[in-house]
């Protein structure tokens, strides 16, 4: 099964938020002590951070430090009860 490119099903925003330059990605990976997946970095560079369809949260290391969408401080998921 061939994966469908995300851009075919989710429009790329005109003004994505909190994307990084190549140098910023290198710095953030050094700070985190890990190599981030290339597809994750591409997704953040194209789409930015935020919430997609009220169900998928994308975290960015470039979002404000105390933001719920910052990769460092993380996102605390909550389980909604019916």
d(CA 13, CA 67) in angstroms, rounded, equals: 20
Task: Let me know if residue 56 belongs to a domain.
Answer: yes
- Confirm if 65 and 73 have CB atoms less than 8 A apart: yes
Task: Let me know if residue 12 belongs to a domain.
Answer: no
> pTM value?
0.74
User: Which residues lie below 8 Å from residue 74, measured CB to CB, with a gap of 6+?
Assistant: 59
pLDDT at residue 71 above 80?
no
Number of domains in the chain: 1
Task: Let me know if residue 51 belongs to a domain.
Answer: yes
d(CA 75, CA 57) in angstroms, rounded, equals: 8
pLDDT at residue 68 above 70?
no
Task: Let me know if residue 43 belongs to a domain.
Answer: yes
User: Strands, DSSP E only, in 1-82?
Assistant: 50-52, 56-58
The predicted structure's pLDDT at residue 32: 85
pLDDT digits (tens, 9 = 90+) for 23-64: 999 999 998 899 999 999 999 999 998 888 888 888 888 887
Q: Which domain holds residue 38?
A: 17-72
The predicted structure's pLDDT at residue 26: 95
Task: Let me know if residue 49 belongs to a domain.
Answer: yes
Give the residue ranges of DSSP H helices in 1-82: 22-32, 38-47
| Residue bearing the bigger pLDDT, 73 or 60 | 60
């Amino acid at each position: 099964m061939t994966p469908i490119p995300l851009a075919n099903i989710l429009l790329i925003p005109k003004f994505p938020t909190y994307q990084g330059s190549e140098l910023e990605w290198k710095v953030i990976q050094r700070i985190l002590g890990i190599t981030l997946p290339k597809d994750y970095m591409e997704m953040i560079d194209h789409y930015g951070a935020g919430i997609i369809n009220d169900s998928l949260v994308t975290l960015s290391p470039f979002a404000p430090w105390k933001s719920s969408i910052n990769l460092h401080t993380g996102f605390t998921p909550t389980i909604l009860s019916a």
